[in-house]
Structure 1
């Protein structure tokens, strides 16, 4: 009886260890889904290090500090910069670790004028490569309907218009300062390759690209995994979950260990009890040591290889040529997320029909030859 009780206790302890290990390894203690969306026009998944905070989820382990997303009443995702306020999220590229933002009312000059600049202080972000700060001066001028430098979203009427020009450069005849009244100045981020350096005025609408260094989840996303905190980690240590095609997942291993290990342990206990009973009857004077060996062969799946598309399949995706005026299918989508260069007039784009994302032909053709998914949303061809 003592032997039976000993092995029964061992079985209970092993079950507790297996259950505890399985539940701990299966997630990172975040009750929110791996990906989420505000449900509005921006349908791309919002995933770690970003997380939607105001949709009934207050678990801070679902996102990295400083990457909180709030959905407004129009189901638009907003990113808060402590020193500059809330900005509309236009796009997120987790592999390149870049987020594209703009003003909610599509008037970035107003934000810069009222705040006297654009600040990333106390945030985990910095300007993306290629962006620089330029100091602009804002003027209240007499209304000139033919002037190309007036900012429409700042208001124009029969009495006045607002213009913003580089403080370090004269207007070059485009603005008669004698008929203008200085309002304020502001430090604005502009892309160094944009026309703003040669044409020293500020447009009404432009996106700003921000990048982050920490947390670094690029390798995890490149491998198709889901980035997150390690279970019960208190120092923001990261782990990569749900990696595809890497043998059994942790949940599957847990199921196998429960389905095979527990019946095996019960069988071993029954065998030991039977052998002990027989030895007590036949050899009461002798002690014996019983050893059993138990092996479980792990059957691993051969990883499936997701290959790219062939030439005819790629050519089925439609091409579009950017007009001379720079017109695009989606005016706010002006940057190829593969090469991170702005679309130029007469360039040829290719659209992935399943998700309506478009890229430079050379960029997306090279990608699709190696990967059969959209580089932005990971959708497979129909």
Structure 2
């Protein structure tokens, strides 16, 4: 492999230089092939008329590409139609442009040109009507009872049942005596006949007809002060033999280079996969030999615990005793006293836990399923639980440094991430809290107590549950009420966030014994402090400790967002804890109320239900 790596290194160096050569050559060829500038013909879509001088497409062609008059500026609508924009946002659709005969077909999309031309003076309009010369019209509002008198002059698209709008040429009224009950509403002076919504207009200047007839292009003369035009030859570029050979060489060289890189990469990948496969087999055999959980009888459990002599603690699901497998191996034995079911679920759970091997997950050494007597045998961790260090009457002899707190938080996060993504099946713990985080002699955290854990498929996002599970104060909102979303691995993220905030505060998140009532619910008080730029008011000695406390607090607040979709995954949490404080952003405020006496029983800001696909629990 060393010889292969050396050979690949010697081979890749000239390949890099060759790639640079091909890149420079490609840039030069691209510069040689390019013709003219940005004034070449454009279209809004393939079915729209081509746009070139004297017209130009706004935002697609520079100003010098069109004739300097507002009437020659076109644009594309949202649905890719060609528009002629005039003063006061008047818009007409362009259907066809004849550059040789100098006329343009326009269409009024509203089919009511009167409305667009009302009170709009287009005397400077560069176009004229081929059929009717420019004229002025007067619009009158008359009562409906005179409808028969003005039938020939009625403007249907502006008239209503209550009144009718009539139009007369301004050079004289045909029925002057009949207009006493009418009021004038506006004048129209335009080179367009308002009676039509499809019409053809002609322009006289600039005259590019000769250029078009000769197949040449038309443009403004350079440095012309009178907007004069000139014809120019449009080169039809032909790729020479030399350029063809050059392009073929570039393509062929790039192809060969790509094939070489693929071959080298594939060989490296194959060798790597072979080594990983051998290492994986060796690790599996070692793990299986060293960590496969053993099954004990209840008599063995009594012998291991010396008849339950040394009690370590007690919880809702059992009592924990210190035991000894041999002279050098200590264990913690949890004797279950609140077990339900016929034992199948217990065996399945033990079988799954026996395959979990992670530095931040307590290792299951063995189990007992002897009739109605059941127990779990875990590795013994001398520093007991995290709870005793962060809640121990805030005693100095039990306090942990901020650096160690950060390492513990990161270790717990990596352990949860492993349960969510590292196992064959996703394991949801549902009871992450300080009491279930054990510490070894080096204060390495170990997640324990999987009595409430559930298994689900890794390609599914949520799990169905009939009853809530967990410890109050750490249970995610969706576990208690489906209005916040379905239960998923994000429920563990919420519990971890509450754990982080208790590590920062050094007390329970809800503590009504504090002197300041605004601090009763620590997460909300901590958010308000950070939001206002205030200090957290906890034991901090230097700036580095302040940054650590802020980082843990911000990550914890991200994790306790009300809705599961707003919380980060544990992979993202690990990245935030490993990253720098300055790249973290403050999360949205997860508290609807600023009243600190509500002790966290707040209501989310937006009562929405975000659906997630639900899957059954794996039996």
Under TM normalisation by the shorter chain, which class is it? 0.3 to 0.5
Structure (1 or 2) with the greater helix fraction: 2
Q: Name which structure has the greater RCO, CA cutoff 8 Å, separation 6+.
A: 1
Tell me the TM-score normalized by structure 1: 0.45
Q: Which has the larger radius of gyration?
A: 2
TM superposition score normalised by structure 2: 0.29
